[in-house]
A and B are shown apart, each in its own frame.
Chain A
Amino acid sequence: EMQLVESGGGLVQPGGSLRLSCAASGFTVSSNYMSWVRQAPGKGLEWVSVIYTGGSTYYADSVKGRFTISRVNSKNTLYLQMNSLRAEDTAVYYCARARTTDLHDAFDIWGQGTMVTVSS
């Protein structure tokens, strides 16, 4: 069974850092386009970042320069390093796999989400 499991969320003070992990099973992270999507409490979905098979990365303007997406192939794990955190970054963070390596495809596998709360 193909599965994604996130971890690393928690409470952090404004200006702080956190690293989220997303462990994959049943498929290879490095052979897929992988994204992070977040959802603030009671709000809709917001795409955050993507990493392509070749290593290219893209970010939403709201996190550019503060967040870094990466992967460790030997661990089959995706990461999101979040620095200079703000209250508006408070959300459930999901990792998600694109259905194919077509540039325009949808997300077919999602993790269960990990909650990040930025507050003093």
Chain B
Amino acid sequence: DVQMTQSPSSVSASVGDRVTITCRASQGISSWLAWYQQKPGKAPKLLIYAASSLQSGVPSRFSGSGSGTDFTLTISSLQPEDFATYYCQQANSFPYTFGQGTKLEIK
């Protein structure tokens, strides 16, 4: 199975900050990487697919990059509604696997 490792596991930041979350795959997954945002008690929401493509309706302050084994999610200017947990997911091979999550908290 492909192991997905996110860092950091948690991060504190302020409104307006730029935040970067990284995701590393245990083997190459081309660009088959997605990022999701999840708020407490809610379903995950797709932000980025194919490593760098912005899902329709998602604000442009979210961006993704990377290929192979190393990927990043960047939020250019944090808004109050962005405080949540973020997950990466590989869709290169079965079983699809997720990172352990990064909790983004208000400083």
Q: Are B98 and A45 in contact (CB under 8 A)?
A: yes
Contact with B along A54-79 (1 / 0, CB 8 A): 00001011000000000000000000
Instruction: Name B44's closest neighbour in chain A (CB-CB).
Output: A110
Count chain A CB atoms within 10 A of each CB in B38, B44, B55 and give the residue with the most: B44
When chains A and B are docked, how far (Å) is the Cα of A23 from the Cα of B67? 35
Q: Are A94 and B43 in contact (CB under 8 A)?
A: yes
Contacting residue for A107 out of B34, B42, B95, B101, CB 8 A? B34
Residues of chain A with a CB closer than 8 A to B49's CB: 99, 105-106, 108
B83 near A: Cβ within 8 Å?
A: no
When chains A and B are docked, how far (Å) is the Cα of A104 from the Cα of B87? 17
Q: Are B100 and A110 in contact (CB under 8 A)?
A: no
When chains A and B are docked, how far (Å) is the Cα of A47 from the Cα of B88? 12
Interface residues of A in 85-112 (CB under 8 A from B): 94, 99, 103-108, 110-112
Count chain A CB atoms within 10 A of each CB in B32, B49, B50, B92 and give the residue with the most: B49
**Number of interface residues, chain B, beta carbon within 8 A:** 25
Contacting residue for A106 out of B38, B46, B99, B100, CB 8 A? B46
**Number of interface residues, chain A, beta carbon within 8 A:** 22
* A109 CB to nearest chain B CB (Å): 8
B69 near A: Cβ within 8 Å?
A: no
* A96 CB to nearest chain B CB (Å): 8
Q: Are B95 and A47 in contact (CB under 8 A)?
A: yes
* A16 CB to nearest chain B CB (Å): 25
* B21 CB to nearest chain A CB (Å): 14
| Contacts from B to A (Cβ < 8 Å) | 30, 32, 34, 36, 38, 42-46, 49-50, 55, 87, 89, 91-92, 94-101
Beyond the given A99-B55, A104-B91, A107-B89, please list 15 additional residue pairs across the A-B interface where CB-CB is below 8 A: A44-B99, A45-B87, A45-B101, A47-B95, A50-B96, A94-B43, A99-B46, A106-B34, A106-B46, A106-B91, A108-B46, A108-B49, A110-B44, A111-B43, A113-B43
